[in-house]
C-alpha cells in the first residue's frame, strides 16, 4: 500500500460504523464496482442501494434520495473515476444544497474498473477543492485511518449543506464481496426500508 493512503475495506468499515441505528440509520448509495463490493463487505443492509452498472450515477441518485427523504441522512459511496465522470453532479448538488447528503469518494487515483489506468486525481485534480468551489458546506481529504475515523464520527453531526469527503486509498484490489444483483428485489428492499409498501 502506498504511503499516505488507507486500506479501502478498513476505511469503508470505519465510515459505516457511524451510520446510526433504527430510523436514524443512514441510507447509502454505492457506485459501480469496487465501492459496491466494499459496502457489501462492511455488511449488507436494507439501507444499502447498490447501483451496479450505473457508472457516474451514485452522487446524483443520492441527491434524489436526499431530496425525497429530507429527514434522513444519505451518503453516496463512490470512486474517483466515477466522480470524475460526473463532475457536473457536484455543481448540481452544490446548487441544490441538501444538508442531509454526504458524498464519500474512495480515491486510489486509478480507473479501477477499466484496468487501473492513472486517473486525473493523481495528476492534480482535487475533488474536495472542486466540491468546495461548487458550494459544498464541508470538504476534506483523509489520508490515514485515524483521519477516516474522525470523519466517520462527524457523519452524524448536523451539517449546513452538502459535504464531500475524499479518502485516499491504496491501489490494492481485495477479493470481491458480491451483493445481490437482482435490481427489482434491491429496489423493493430499499423502498421497504423507507416505509413504502411493496409494489
**Residue range 78-113, pLDDT digits in tens:** 999 899 999 999 999 999 999 999 999 999 877 666
Q: Does the pLDDT of residue 173 top 90, yes or no?
A: no
**Which of 114, 191, 194, 130 shows the shortest CA–CA distance to 166?**
130
Q: Read off the pLDDT of each residue in 2-27 and give the average, rounded to a whole number.
A: 90
What rounded mean pLDDT belongs to the chain? 92
CA distance 170 to 173: 9
At 197, list the grid cell. 409498501
CA distance 36 to 78: 8
Q: Does the pLDDT of residue 3 top 80, yes or no?
A: no
| Strand positions, DSSP E, 7-63 | 27-30, 48-50
At 102, list the grid cell. 454526504
**Which of 123, 91, 90 shows the shortest CA–CA distance to 107?**
123
**Which of 154, 90, 82, 95 shows the shortest CA–CA distance to 128?**
90
| Model pTM score | 0.94
- Contact assessment for residue 141 and residue 166, using Cβ atoms and an 8 Å cutoff: yes
Amino acid at each position: 500500500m502506498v504511503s499516505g493512503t488507507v486500506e479501502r475495506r478498513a476505511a469503508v468499515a470505519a465510515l459505516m460504523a457511524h451510520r446510526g441505528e433504527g430510523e436514524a440509520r443512514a441510507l447509502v448509495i454505492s457506485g459501480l464496482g469496487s465501492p459496491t463490493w466494499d459496502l457489501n463487505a462492511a455488511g449488507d443492509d436494507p439501507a444499502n442501494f447498490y447501483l451496479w452498472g450505473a457508472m457516474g450515477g451514485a452522487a446524483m441518485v443520492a441527491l434524489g434520495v436526499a431530496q425525497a427523504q429530507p429527514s434522513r441522512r444519505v451518503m453516496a459511496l463512490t470512486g474517483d473515476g466515477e466522480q470524475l465522470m460526473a463532475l457536473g453532479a457536484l455543481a448540481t448538488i452544490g446548487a441544490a444544497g441538501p444538508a442531509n447528503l454526504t458524498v464519500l469518494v474512495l480515491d486510489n487515483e486509478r480507473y479501477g474498473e477499466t484496468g487501473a489506468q492513472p486517473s486525473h486525481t493523481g495528476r492534480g485534480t482535487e475533488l474536495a477543492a472542486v466540491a468546495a468551489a461548487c458550494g459544498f458546506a464541508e470538504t476534506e481529504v483523509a489520508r490515514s485511518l485515524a483521519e477516516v475515523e474522525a470523519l466517520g464520527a462527524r457523519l452524524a453531526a448536523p451539517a449546513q449543506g452538502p459535504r464531500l469527503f475524499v479518502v485516499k486509498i491504496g491501489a490494492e484490489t481485495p477479493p470481491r464481496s458480491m451483493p445481490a444483483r437482482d435490481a427489482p428485489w434491491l429496489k423493493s428492499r430499499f423502498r421497504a426500508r423507507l416505509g413504502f409498501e411493496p409494489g
